[in-house]
Amino acid sequence: MSADRPLGRVLVTGGAGFIGSRLLRRLLPLSEHVTVIDDCSTGIPEAVPPSGKIDFIRASYVDEALLDRTLPGTDYVFHVACRNMTLSASQMDEDFQVNLYGGYLLLKKVREVCPGLRRFLYTSTASVYGNAAAYPTAEHEYETTLPYAASKLSMEHYAQVFHRMHGLPVTVLRLSNVYGPGQTTANPYCGVIAKFFDAAEAGEPFPVYGDGRQTRDFTYIEDVLDAIVASATREETAGGVYNVGTGVETSVIRLAHLIADIAGGPRSLSFRPPRTVDVVRRRCLDASLLRREIGWRAGTSIEEGLRLTHLWRKGGGDDADLARND
């Protein structure tokens, strides 16, 4: 691989989703070639940036023959694909098949056919903490209250097994409520922020499940991408499990008020019964471990992140900037 393309050949699973498609924009200038695998069950094909360096395969990554064809020669794997949390509660078999068995299969095939792999980066989730015993919550805490959390945490354990038994260079990042440019309600299972912006711009009440006092640690997409790329390329993080969050709690009600201030529209809330997946009251991550290891910290406040998201929504996409990546 060349000095100006230090990542060489890259595989991204889930590259048509929100995080995956934004990650591609970061990886393109650093890579010689990028293979994207996404079945588009929730991802959007148009979200994959146009580039001659991308080979986009619209299929499930849970396919041994497909992995045998696409993995050889890969230098970096960014495993972002997963089943959606909301669907996992009603479709546990599919959640297990994609999130856990698929992840295990990917680890297995990487070990078999990618002897020169430099890093396997797995994006896990803050959902593994459930209703934690302490806040901000550190990496040693977890409580599996939903199938999604169970499958994601179990995949983390398999990643650690492959690292300890076989020396596979694995890094696990637990992401917390990622939002920002690129996230839209075209995916019906998107986060609350995109839905609230839609409501504000339509002049409709904000849909709130439960009492709205539940909190989340909302993390801006560009900060998350900084963490992903830095963690994948630093020796210190091989074998590690790290939180990626801001350490700041924001209630759903406050979030609605912030978005109303930025986007306009009424401040009215439409309260609805909690859904099956609405079991976590608080979320706030302690990301000091990643800060100590590689110096990463979230630099975007919720107010600034929402402002930047609003500007993106009003100004359209940013694909014109991609020409420099080819």
- How many degrees, rounded to 5, is the angle at CA 102 between CA 101 and CA 104? 65
Q: Are 41 and 17 in contact (CB under 8 A)?
A: no
Active-site residues, by number, are 148
Instruction: Report how far apart the first and last C-alpha atoms of the chain are (Å, whole number).
Output: 16
Q: Are 25 and 46 in contact (CB under 8 A)?
A: no
Which DSSP category does 273 fall into? P
Q: Are 19 and 80 in contact (CB under 8 A)?
A: yes
CA distances from 145 to 85, 137, 262 (A): 12, 16, 34
User: For the chain, what is the radius of gyration of the CA atoms?
Assistant: 19
State how far the Cα of 24 lies from the Cα of 265, in Å rounded to an integer. Answer: 34
